[in-house]
């Protein structure tokens, strides 16, 4: 499948229920029943929503209601009715629908900064490497600014549900690799990956602006050419051992600072492999005493409100992190007045 598509992203709590079943299970059942081309359920590291307190997976709060992020990509005629069905089930969550492009080969010319997202199976291989690590290696070799591997715990692959099991091989459980960089670097990486992966599932998104890279400012949040109602996403890609100026883990400091500044919600996801900026790819290693896995934290709000809170993000990322801005055309459920 190649061409124009829509990406649905829903953020909610792992305890949220619909008629006695978890919302995550109900949603993934619907994704499979609708035969979605690709989807993944990602378990959050920490975050808060418009009607929730701070949630974290720190040692003393393992029973907390952690955020989940469900991502689904397919043709507009599949995603639009799905979004209409899901939105009323998320009174305290968040749902966005964004235009994207599905590609399965070399893309055309790409201008400015773009986001490349690649969906692969957990056990999919490219030679002796996992497919996910191969994507990161290719992105790094072509000078893409950052790439993060996010481990799915459930999802669909060409309409079939693939859920992780404790004792299963989990070969087809989806993994999402999120990469951000300049158009030419991403185009070269996507072209190589198209010939390397088996039946590649890749999307490319325009409308991305790289704001900072390891403390160095690259651009200011872009002005909006519409009214203040347009929506945007700020994302920070870093490492779990990255620290803010006050010594707190960067993702924790960001979630807390945005919450104190009145943001309606922020979610942090832990990756398993990746890099940002000039750092070499890194991640989970057996017997490592200190985890150095990548982390991505993102906040969605009205563009004018995010600009007003930019000084908060700027202060937290004074020394490290890859910071991006993305426009969102759709009005998110759960945040709209």
The string of pLDDT tens digits covering residues 80-98 is 999 999 999 987 778 999 9
How far apart are alpha carbons 210 and 53 in whole angstroms? 30
2-6, 46-50, 260-264, 285-289: the lowest-pLDDT one: 285-289
Better-predicted residue by pLDDT, 189 or 240: 189
> Does the structure show a pLDDT above 60 at 136?
yes
Task: Please state, as a whole number, how many other Cβ atoms lie within 10 Å of the Cβ of residue 239.
Answer: 23
User: Tokens 């690649």 map to which residue?
Assistant: 118
CATH class of the domain at 209-328: alpha beta
Length of the chain: 337
- The predicted structure's pLDDT at residue 66: 82
Nearest-angstrom CA–CA distance, 211 and 326: 10
Decide if 97 contacts 31 (C-beta within 8 A). Answer: no
pLDDT band at residue 267 using 50, 70 and 90 as cut-offs: very high
**pLDDT value of residue 60:** 32
Distance, in Å, from the CA atom of 86 to the CA atom of 20, rounded to the nearest integer, reads 16
**281 burial via Cβ count (<10 Å: 0-12, 13-18, 19+):** middle
Query: Is this model's pTM higher than 0.85 or not?
Result: yes
Q: What is the mean pLDDT of residues 277-291?
A: 70
In 10 A of CB 111, how many CB atoms?
A: 10
Mean local confidence (pLDDT), 46-74: 62
Contact status, residue 67 vs residue 47, Cβ threshold 8 Å: yes
DSSP state of 179: E
Question: What DSSP designation does 61 have?
Answer: G
| Position with higher pLDDT, 229 vs 107 | 107
pLDDT for residue 99 is more than 70? yes
Report the candidate in 49, 151, 154, 143 with the shortest Cα–Cα distance to residue 94.
49
Nearest to 26 by CA among 86, 77, 68, 106: 86
Instruction: Determine how many CB atoms are found less than 10 A away from the CB of residue 287.
Output: 4
Give yes or no for a contact between 2 and 104, defined as CB atoms under 8 angstroms apart.
yes
Report pLDDT for 205: 94
Partners of 42 in the beta sheet? 69, 152
Maximum CA extent, the chain: 52
Give the model's confidence band at 164: pLDDT under 50 very low, under 70 low, under 90 confident, else very high: confident
Q: 275 vs 47, which has greater pLDDT?
A: 275
Q: Which helix (H) or strand (E) holds 185?
A: helix 183-196
- The predicted pLDDT at position 122 comes to 85
Q: Determine contact, residues 316/234, Cβ cutoff 8 Å.
A: no
- Residue 48 CB-density burial (10 A; 0-12 exposed, 13-18 middle, 19+ buried): buried
pLDDT at 33 over 50: yes
Secondary structure (3-state) at 114: strand
Q: How confident is the model at residue 264 (pLDDT cuts 50, 70, 90)?
A: confident
How high is the pLDDT of residue 320?
Answer: 93
Range with lowest mean pLDDT among 12-26, 155-169, 293-307: 155-169
- How far apart CA 325 and CA 335 sit, in angstroms, is 18
Residue 6: how many CB atoms within 10 A of its CB? 21
DSSP 306: H
Using only C-alpha atoms, what is the Rg of the chain? 18
Is residue 268 within 8 Å of 44, Cβ to Cβ?
yes
DSSP H or E stretch at residue 135: helix 131-141
Q: What is the sign of the dihedral through the CA atoms of 54, 59, 64 and 68?
A: positive
| Predicted pLDDT of residue 59 | 33
Residue 308 has pLDDT above 90, yes or no: yes
Compute the distance between CA of residue 131 and CA of residue 124 in angstroms, rounded to an integer: 5
């Amino acid at each position: 499948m190649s061409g124009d598509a829509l990406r649905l992203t829903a953020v909610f709590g792992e305890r949220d229920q619909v008629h006695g079943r978890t919302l995550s299970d109900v949603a993934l059942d619907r994704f499979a029943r609708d035969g979605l081309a690709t989807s993944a359920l990602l378990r959050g590291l920490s975050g808060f929503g418009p009607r929730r307190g701070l949630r974290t997976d720190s040692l003393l709060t393992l029973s907390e209601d952690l955020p989940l992020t469900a991502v689904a990509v397919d043709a507009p005629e599949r995603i639009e009715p799905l979004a209409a069905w899901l939105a009323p089930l998320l009174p305290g969550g968040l749902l966005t629908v964004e235009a994207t492009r599905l590609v399965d080969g070399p893309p055309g010319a790409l201008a400015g900064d773009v986001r490349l997202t690649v969906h692969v199976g957990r056990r999919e291989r490219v030679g002796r490497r996992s497919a996910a690590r191969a994507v990161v290696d290719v992105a790094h070799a072509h000078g893409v600014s950052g790439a993060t591997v996010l481990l799915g715990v459930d999802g669909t692959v060409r309409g079939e549900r693939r859920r992780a099991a404790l004792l299963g091989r989990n070969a087809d459980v989806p993994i999402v690799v999120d990469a951000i960089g300049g158009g030419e670097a991403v185009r070269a990486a996507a072209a190589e990956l198209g010939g390397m992966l088996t039946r590649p599932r890749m999307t490319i998104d325009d409308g991305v602006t790289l704001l900072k890279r390891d403390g160095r400012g690259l651009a200011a949040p872009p002005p909006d050419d519409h009214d203040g109602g347009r929506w945007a996403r700020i994302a920070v890609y870093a490492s779990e051992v990255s620290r803010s100026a006050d010594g707190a883990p960067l993702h924790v400091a960001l979630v807390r600072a945005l919450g104190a500044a009145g943001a309606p919600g922020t979610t942090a996801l832990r990756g398993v492999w990746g890099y940002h900026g000039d750092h070499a790819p890194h991640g989970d290693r057996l017997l490592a005493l200190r985890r150095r896995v990548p982390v991505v934290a993102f906040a969605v709000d009205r563009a004018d409100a995010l600009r007003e809170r930019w000084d908060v993000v700027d202060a937290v990322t004074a020394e490290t992190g890859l910071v991006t801005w993305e426009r969102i055309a759709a009005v998110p459920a759960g945040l709209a007045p």
